[in-house]
């Protein structure tokens, strides 16, 4: 994982990493009594390296899939280090629903030696279609009005952000999340979307999101 090192206070009310500091908040995402906190203890060898932004994105994407309530959804992941995202979706949503399509760039190996994770990774191999080149994934963004596209992109791929933005402007529906969007000096495609009466929101958590509904 490329997440920055971070610290969380003992009372789970303060968080700090290289780009984000939070104080006087209930940081439930780090509580083992909450879904994301408990599952990370099982799904990865180093849960203490999974920072705030990544946790929020995983929870948000899972919540979106649940909120779709069986409606056709396409999930497209451009981050090779996000095997953990699919592991979390497997246990929180399930990978076998026929209404959901999963696509990704080739995922990096993230070992966790226990039988459950082995079964989950086998399921990922069966249900997540992977591509070795990021540009090939663009064709999987559905233009069908009944499909909702959930797309996760790192800030290091501005050309992919552009391609997604063009498809949104053309009528595709969904949401684009750009990881570490706030770290870019001139984040793209902010200006292009503005010109077409759409908005890329820069969140306080450091990622960007754009909705096309």
Domains identified in the chain and CATH numbers: 51-212 (3.40.50)
Q: Give per-residue pLDDT as tens, 61-97.
A: 999 999 998 899 999 999 988 889 999 999 999 998 8
Is the separation of the CB atoms in 84 and 50 below 8 Å? yes
Asked if residue 187 has pLDDT above 80, the reply is no
Asked if residue 28 has pLDDT above 80, the reply is no
Residues whose CB falls within 8 Å of the CB of residue 2, separated by 6 or more in sequence, listed in order: 81
Q: Where are the alpha helices (DSSP H) in 46-103?
A: 52-67, 83-92
User: In the numeric block, which tokens belong to residue 48?
Assistant: 């203490």
Cα(85)–Cα(106) distance, integer angstroms:
13
Q: What angle do CA 101, 179, 54 make, to 5 degrees?
A: 80
pLDDT at 18: 78
pLDDT at 188: 65
pLDDT at 10: 80
Mean pLDDT, the chain, rounded, equals: 87
In the predicted model, what is the mean pLDDT of residues 163-184? 90
Strand partners, 75: 102, 150
Residues whose CB falls within 8 Å of the CB of residue 122, separated by 6 or more in sequence, listed in order: none
pLDDT at 112: 64
Location of structure tokens 């570490």: 180
Is the separation of the CB atoms in 173 and 145 below 8 Å? yes
In the predicted model, what is the mean pLDDT of residues 183-202? 80
State if pTM tops 0.75.
Answer: yes
């Amino acid at each position: 994982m490329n997440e920055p090192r971070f610290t969380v206070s003992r009372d789970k009310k303060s968080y700090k990493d290289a780009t984000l500091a939070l104080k006087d908040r209930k940081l439930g995402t780090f509580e083992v009594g909450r879904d994301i906190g408990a599952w990370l203890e099982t799904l990865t060898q180093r849960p203490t390296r999974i920072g705030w932004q990544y946790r929020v994105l995983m929870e948000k994407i899972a919540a979106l899939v649940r909120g779709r309530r069986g409606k056709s959804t396409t999930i497209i992941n451009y981050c090779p280090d996000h095997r953990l995202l699919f592991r979390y979706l497997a246990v929180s949503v399930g990978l076998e629903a026929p209404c959901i399509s999963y696509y990704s760039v080739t995922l990096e190996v993230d070992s966790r030696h226990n039988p459950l994770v082995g079964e989950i990774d086998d399921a990922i191999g069966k249900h997540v279609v992977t591509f070795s080149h990021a540009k090939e994934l663009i064709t999987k963004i559905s233009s069908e009005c009944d499909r909702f596209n959930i797309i996760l992109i790192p800030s290091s791929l501005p050309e992919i952000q552009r391609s997604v933005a063009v498809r949104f402007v053309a009528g595709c529906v969904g949401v684009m999340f750009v990881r570490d969007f706030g770290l870019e000096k001139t984040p793209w495609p902010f200006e292009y979307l503005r010109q077409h009466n759409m908005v890329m929101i820069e969140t306080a958590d450091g990622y960007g999101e754009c909705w096309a509904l």
